[in-house]
Amino acid sequence: MLDDLRPRLGRRLLTGPAELAVFGCDALTAFYERPAAVVLVESADEVVAVVRACHREGVPFVARGSGTSLSGGSLPIGGGVVIALNRLDRVLSVDPDARTAVVEPGVINLDVSRAALPHGLMYCPDPSSQSVCTIGGNLAFNSGGAHCLRHGMTANHVLGIRAVLPDGELVELGGDSVEPLGPDVAGMFCGSEGLFGIALEVTVRLVAVAEATHTALAVYDSLEQAGDAVARIVAAGLLPVAMEIMDALAIEAAEASVKPNYPKGAALLIVELEGERGVVDADAAALRELLRASGAGEVVATEDPDARALIWKGRKSAFSAVGWLAPDYIVQDGVVPRTRLGEALAEIGRMGAAAGIRVANVFHAGDGNLHPLILFDGREPGMLERAEALAGDILRLCIRLGGSITGEHGVGVEKREYLPLMFTPADLELMRRLRRAVDPAELANRGKMLAVA
Amino acid sequence: MLDDLRPRLGRRLLTGPAELAVFGCDALTAFYERPAAVVLVESADEVVAVVRACHREGVPFVARGSGTSLSGGSLPIGGGVVIALNRLDRVLSVDPDARTAVVEPGVINLDVSRAALPHGLMYCPDPSSQSVCTIGGNLAFNSGGAHCLRHGMTANHVLGIRAVLPDGELVELGGDSVEPLGPDVAGMFCGSEGLFGIALEVTVRLVAVAEATHTALAVYDSLEQAGDAVARIVAAGLLPVAMEIMDALAIEAAEASVKPNYPKGAALLIVELEGERGVVDADAAALRELLRASGAGEVVATEDPDARALIWKGRKSAFSAVGWLAPDYIVQDGVVPRTRLGEALAEIGRMGAAAGIRVANVFHAGDGNLHPLILFDGREPGMLERAEALAGDILRLCIRLGGSITGEHGVGVEKREYLPLMFTPADLELMRRLRRAVDPAELANRGKMLAVA
Ligand SMILES: Cc1cc2nc3c(=O)[nH]c(=O)nc-3n(C[C@H](O)[C@H](O)[C@H](O)COP(=O)(O)OP(=O)(O)OC[C@H]3O[C@@H](n4cnc5c(N)ncnc54)[C@H](O)[C@@H]3O)c2cc1C
Ligand SMILES: Cc1cc2nc3c(=O)[nH]c(=O)nc-3n(C[C@H](O)[C@H](O)[C@H](O)COP(=O)(O)OP(=O)(O)OC[C@H]3O[C@@H](n4cnc5c(N)ncnc54)[C@H](O)[C@@H]3O)c2cc1C
Digit-coded pLDDT (tens) for A327-340: 988 888 999 988 88
Compute the average pLDDT of residues A380-385.
94
Per-window interface: A 364-393 vs B, CB < 8 A = 367-369
Mean pLDDT of A308-336: 90
Determine the 3-state secondary structure of B87 from DSSP: coil
Q: How far is A316 from chain B (nearest CA, A)?
A: 20
How far apart CA B137 and CA B369 sit, in angstroms, is 19
Q: At what angle do helices A383-400 and A341-355 cross, to 10 degrees?
A: 160
CA distance to A434, B307, B442, per residue, from B166 (Å) = 14, 47, 8
Predicted local distance difference test score (pLDDT) of residue B342: 84
Contacts of B343 (CB under 8 A, 6+ apart): B336, B401
Question: Ligand 1 center to residue A26 CA distance, Å?
Answer: 9
Domain boundaries, chain A: 2-84, 91-208, 212-319, 326-410
φ and ψ at residue A37, rounded to 5 degrees: -160, 155
- Across the interface, whether the CB atoms of B191 and A170 are under 8 A apart is answered no
What residues are in contact with ligand 1 under a 6 Å CB criterion?
A: A 26-27, 62-70, 73-74, 85, 105, 127-129, 133-134, 136-138, 140-141, 143-145, 193-194, 198-199, 319-320, 408-409, 445
Residue A453 clears pLDDT 70, i.e. is over it: no
pLDDT value at A207 more than 60: yes
Instruction: Give the number of the atom of ligand 2 that is nearest the alpha carbon of residue B146.
Output: 8
d(CA B145, CA B68): 14
* ipTM for this model: 0.88
Minimum mean pLDDT range among A136-145, A284-293, A316-325: A316-325
Task: Domain B326-410: give its CATH code.
Answer: 3.30.70.2740
- Cβ proximity of A54 and A443 under 8 Å: yes
In angstroms, the CA A98 to CA A174 distance is 15
Assign A413 to helix, strand or coil. Answer: coil
Cβ contacts of residue A96 below 8 Å, gap of 6+?
A119, A120, A121
Judged by CB atoms closer than 8 Å, whether chains meet at B426 and A169 is answered as: yes
pLDDT at residue B177, as a whole number: 56
CA gap B408, B126 in Å, rounded: 12
Among residues B69, B23, B136, B62, which one has the least CA distance to residue B411?
A: B69
Q: Would you state the pLDDT for residue B408? A: 87
- Confirm or reject contact between B429 and chain A (CB < 8 A): yes
CATH number of the A2-84 domain: 3.30.43.10
CATH architecture of A91-208: 2-Layer Sandwich (3.30)
Nearest residue, CB atoms, B179 vs list A98, A177, A367? A367
- Per-residue pLDDT for A151 more than 90? no
Band of residue A321 on the pLDDT scale cut at 50, 70, 90: confident
Ligand 2: which of B69, B198, B373 to mutate, judged by most atoms within 8 Å of the beta carbon?
A: B69
Burial A322-356 (b: 16+ CB within 10 A, else e): beebbebbbbbbbbbbbbbbbebbebbeebbeebe
Residues with pLDDT less than 70, chain B: 29, 176-179, 452-453
Do B212-319 and B326-410 fold alike per CATH? yes
Q: Which CATH architecture has domain A212-319?
A: 2-Layer Sandwich (3.30)
Task: Please indicate if any CB of chain A lies within 8 Å of the CB of B71.
Answer: no
pLDDT confidence band for A179 (50 / 70 / 90):
low
Judge contact between B335 and B197, C-beta under 8 A: no
What pLDDT is recorded for position B97? Answer: 85
Of A141, A162, A364, the residue with max ligand 1 atoms within 8 A of its CB, to mutate for a pocket test, comes to A141
pTM summary value: 0.91
Q: Counting Cβ atoms within 10 Å, is residue A11 exposed (0-12), middle (13-18) or buried (19+)?
A: exposed
Model confidence pLDDT, tens digit, residues B234-279: 889 898 999 999 999 999 999 998 999 999 899 999 999 999 898 8
Residues of A in contact with B335 (CB under 8 A): 178-179
Over its C-alpha atoms, chain B yields an Rg (Å, rounded) of: 22
Closest-CA residue to A80 (of A63, A61, A52): A61
Ligand 1 atom at minimal distance to the Cα of residue A317 = 1
Least CB–CB distance from A278: residue in B237, B278, B431: B278
Q: For residue B172, report the distance from its CA to the centre of ligand 1, in Å.
A: 27
pLDDT digits (tens, 9 = 90+) for A389-442: 999 999 999 999 989 998 889 999 889 999 998 899 999 999 999 999 999 999
B184 vs A185: CB contact, 8 Å cut-off?
A: no
Q: Is the Cα torsion angle B218, B276, B131, B444 positive or negative in sign?
A: positive
Residue B54: φ, ψ to 5°: -60, -40
| For range A194-220, the mean pLDDT | 96
pLDDT value at residue B176 = 65
pLDDT digits (tens, 9 = 90+) for A20-30: 988 998 887 67
- Give the pLDDT confidence score for residue B313 in this predicted structure: 94
Taken as a whole, chain B contains a residue count of 453
pLDDT the model gives residue A178: 59
Instruction: Judge whether B251 and B218 are in contact, CB under 8 Å.
Output: no
CB A134 within 8 A of CB A105: yes
**pLDDT at site B299:** 96
**What's the CA gap between B60 and B58, in Å, rounded?**
7
